[in-house]
Structure 1
Amino acid sequence: MTATTQTAQERDTDHGGERDSLLTKILVRQETTLVLVMLVIGVFAASRSSLFLSPDNLSEILRSSVIYFVIACGAAMLIIGGGLDFSAGAVFTLGALSTCTLLVNGVPWPLAVLAGMAICCAVGGVNFAVITYLHVPPIIATIGSFYMLTGINNLVTGGSDVLPLPESFQWIGQGSVAGVPNDVLIAIVVGVVFWFLLERTRFGVNVRALGGNRQAAVGNGLRVFRLDLTLYVIAGATAALAGMIYSARVGAGQVTAGGTSITLNAITAVLIGGVSLMGGMGTIQGIAVGAVLLSLIDNALVLASVPPQYNSIVVGAILVCAVAVDHLRRARIYRKR
């Protein structure tokens, strides 16, 4: 065997090893597991109802996942950076009600949207200040914000929905472009922006570093306070945007919208999607799959005439498994180091 032939064989072996390694990485990714779960649920639902695979139903599954996904983008960025926000459901409602109140009083919808977003960004800043300067644990501070904002939402509106909304604003949630619903298009734009921030910018690198090891991040000169503030403001902004999309879809600012269900579903989508509750790890594409999976489970069980109680059982089981997988994944990573 010549040296040239041996070298060629070694190169082929190396390339084969690289391909095997890439395939292994793809197979062990949490998104891959979730896609397989979605396929199993899809086959089950399609076998129970011919409506499942209809274009209208598949579109509805995507639209139902939009709210969870938009909130989850900001929540995930915060968790990856080592923070936590349980006020999202109340901020969701605050953003919707403040925007809708301005709309019914004649404010043009672009200005109303910006004002509602600014209010909720300020809430994120308040959460940051309470956590940072008063040294209140994030889970306590944001749960406290949740209850206070829920009370404020009811006091300001008197418990009544805010309507009617201008058609130009409702088009955001009810219209479509080239057959694709506007809310789905908005979610795609939000997803691309957050993916770019997390994967292709220095900001994303700093967020992962902060969540992975806060003390090391401080030691390396990261502006931790500024980064934390930015992450809490972003979480408030995405919760507000989701509330506005929902209001545009239903044509009213609903006091009963949001709440604990929105908060828990968004956090569940984040964790199921592979974001580590301990910080430092997670992807936007994983969150997207997690959000669609939640919507898919709900849709499939309804079409299969399965009692709604089973929805909670299935989601809870998947959440526990996802967190367990995250624990094993982190243990494996640190063992390698």
Structure 2
Amino acid sequence: MAVTTKSLTARDRGTAPGRERDSVLTKILVRQETTLVLVILVIGAFASSRSHLFLSQSNLTEILRSSVIYFVMACGAALLIIGGGLDFSAGAVFTLGALSTCKLLVEGVPWPPAILIGMAICCAFGAVNFLVITYLHVPPIIATLGTFYMLTGLNNLVTSGNDIIPLPQSFQRIAQGSVAGLSSDVVIAVAVGVLFWFVLERTQFGVNVRALGGNRQAAVGNGLRVLRLDLALYVIAAATAALAGVIYSAQVGAGQVTAGGTSTTLNAITAVLIGGVSLMGGMGNIQGIAVGAVLLSLIDNALVLTSIPPQYNSIVVGAILVGAVAVDHLRRARIYRKR
């Protein structure tokens, strides 16, 4: 009997690494970002077969640069959604951050304090969203939509509907320059992504955010400072929306009143959901959001290069969004079934 036991133990030990490798491989294959990478490869193969310009360095760089705005906005929005919140005012905050910064720039304020002041103004409106939702008990979707419309009107009122130009070259170099051969706006996006990945995956704040979104009542019962977390999440979401607006203004060299809006809000939230963040809260990661943002930019770029009418962009993105949310539902059902 002793021999048999040893033999079984040895056999189990021998197969354990294989099982572990299979488990790791399975986890990689079922991750949402893996599916998105496959979708990107399929779209890329189609686009490159229709246009030789698709794989050119300049075009691939343009795809990355176009995804910067979606990604920066999506980082803050994702953290908020993972924590159980929702913000539909991001598109108007995006415009407010851009216009506030540009207004200060044309009045002679140096770009570092101008950016900080513009972002601070937007953070104040993030705090307003929190206060309305928490103390007036207005549902997040209604409260933030109200903020969206108020800020849209405010943006037009302050600028009289006119774009703000010209902007200093030193400011435009934030997005139009280069760092170590990479476009500077892409470098900024990478830095933002690394920061948010670290906060979400390696800090107690990130653990608390997941706990809050996963089960709010349990988070309260465990003594988490829920209101403080909510306030931080709404302010962070406003800050990243404002930063995205600033980057966009530096890219185009103007503070545009028509920038942002509903389409920008929906694109940011779409990047979040396509990237695997659960609308129910508690689940998601920054890597998936990065892939989701690149996918949105890629679809738009591929349709232009292949001379496909732009109306198909909405059809393709809508289909991918529905698929992503369906996959999220199946994934959550599988996780809870295991428990």
Asked if these proteins are the same fold (TM beyond 0.5), I'd say: yes
* Structure 1 residue 11, shift from structure 2 partner: 1.1
Structure 2: distance between partners of 1:54 and 1:235: 34
User: Do residues 280 (structure 1) and 268 (structure 2) align?
Assistant: no
The equivalent residue for 2:44 is 42
The equivalent residue for 2:232 is 230
Structure 1: distance between partners of 2:314 and 2:321: 10
Secondary structure at the counterpart of residue 107 of structure 1? coil
For residues 102-149 of structure 1, what are the alpha-carbon distances to aligned partners after superposition, in whole Å with 9 as ceiling and x for unaligned?
Answer: 000000110101100100110100000000000000000001100000
The equivalent residue for 2:100 is 98
The equivalent residue for 1:73 is 75
What amino acid maps onto 2:103 in structure 1? T
The equivalent residue for 2:14 is 12
The equivalent residue for 2:167 is 165
* Structure 1 residue 13, shift from structure 2 partner: 1.0
Structure 1: distance between partners of 2:69 and 2:122: 16
Structure 2: distance between partners of 1:145 and 1:12: 61
Structure 1: distance between partners of 2:264 and 2:306: 24
The equivalent residue for 2:178 is 176
What amino acid maps onto 2:187 in structure 1? L
For residues 31-64 of structure 1, what are the alpha-carbon distances to aligned partners after superposition, in whole Å with 9 as ceiling and x for unaligned?
Answer: 0000000000000000000000000000000000
What amino acid maps onto 1:327 in structure 2? H
For residues 244-303 of structure 1, what are the alpha-carbon distances to aligned partners after superposition, in whole Å with 9 as ceiling and x for unaligned?
Answer: 000011111000000011000000000000000000000000000000000001111111
Secondary structure at the counterpart of residue 283 of structure 2? coil
Structure 2: distance between partners of 1:8 and 1:184: 51
User: Do residues 122 (structure 1) and 124 (structure 2) align?
Assistant: yes
For residues 299-329 of structure 1, what are the alpha-carbon distances to aligned partners after superposition, in whole Å with 9 as ceiling and x for unaligned?
Answer: 1111111111111000000000000011111
* Structure 1 residue 4, shift from structure 2 partner: 5.7
The equivalent residue for 2:196 is 194
What amino acid maps onto 2:121 in structure 1? I
- 1:1-337 alignment to 2 at 5 Å? 6-337=8-339
* Structure 1 residue 10, shift from structure 2 partner: 1.5
Percent of pairs with identical residues: 83
Structure 2: distance between partners of 1:300 and 1:15: 42
Flag as ranges the 4+ runs of structure 1 deviating above 4 A: 1-6
* Structure 1 residue 14, shift from structure 2 partner: 1.3
* Structure 1 residue 12, shift from structure 2 partner: 1.9
Query: What are structure 2's unaligned runs of at least 5 residues?
Result: none
What amino acid maps onto 1:113 in structure 2? I
Secondary structure at the counterpart of residue 81 of structure 2? helix
Structure 2: distance between partners of 1:8 and 1:178: 52
Structure 1: distance between partners of 2:309 and 2:6: 67
Structure 2: distance between partners of 1:8 and 1:331: 36
Secondary structure at the counterpart of residue 24 of structure 1? helix
* Structure 1 residue 7, shift from structure 2 partner: 3.4
* Structure 1 residue 189, shift from structure 2 partner: 0.2
Structure 2: distance between partners of 1:334 and 1:306: 42
What amino acid maps onto 2:152 in structure 1? T
Structure 2: distance between partners of 1:187 and 1:12: 44
TM-score, length-scaled by structure 2: 0.98
Structure 2: distance between partners of 1:4 and 1:44: 56
What amino acid maps onto 1:321 in structure 2? G
What amino acid maps onto 2:24 in structure 1? L
- After superposing the two structures, state which structure 1 stretch, 132-141 or 13-22, moved more: 13-22
Structure 2: distance between partners of 1:166 and 1:2: 79
Structure 2: distance between partners of 1:236 and 1:163: 24
What amino acid maps onto 1:290 in structure 2? G
What amino acid maps onto 2:336 in structure 1? Y
Structure 2: distance between partners of 1:108 and 1:16: 59
